Amino acid sequence: MFGLCASLWEALYGAPPFPTRAADLVKALLPRAPDPVAPPQTDVPRWLKRVCLRGLARPRWQRYDGMPELLAALESGRSRTPRHLLAGLLQWLVS
């Protein structure tokens, strides 16, 4: 789930959730490191950001247990988002 949420984050925000240099990445994944910061002025809904942040949580026990749980979170938020936007995003991720 972590990898999928990292890819989703990059697709939504146009930047990886963590630094790309190895040393910076190790620091970012340490328990005391801050959560990923979204670039300013994005149109990503807050519920979708929360889904991504949970999937990117450092402690494994805080992440989704599996794909069904992640999909349920996306489906729940989708009911509040125009279908065509989410469908386009998911299609873009798959292609």
Digit-coded pLDDT (tens) for 58-94:
788 888 998 899 888 888 876 665 665 666 677 777 7
- Are 35 and 63 in contact by the 8 Å Cβ rule? The answer is no
Which class for 92: exposed (0-12), middle (13-18), buried (19 or more C-beta within 10 A)? exposed
* Domain limits for position 76: 2-94
Q: What global pTM score does this model have?
A: 0.58
The Cα angle at residue 70 between residues 61 and 33, in degrees rounded to 5: 45
How many distinct structural domains can be found in the chain? 1
Provide the pLDDT confidence category of residue 5 given band limits of 50, 70 and 90: confident
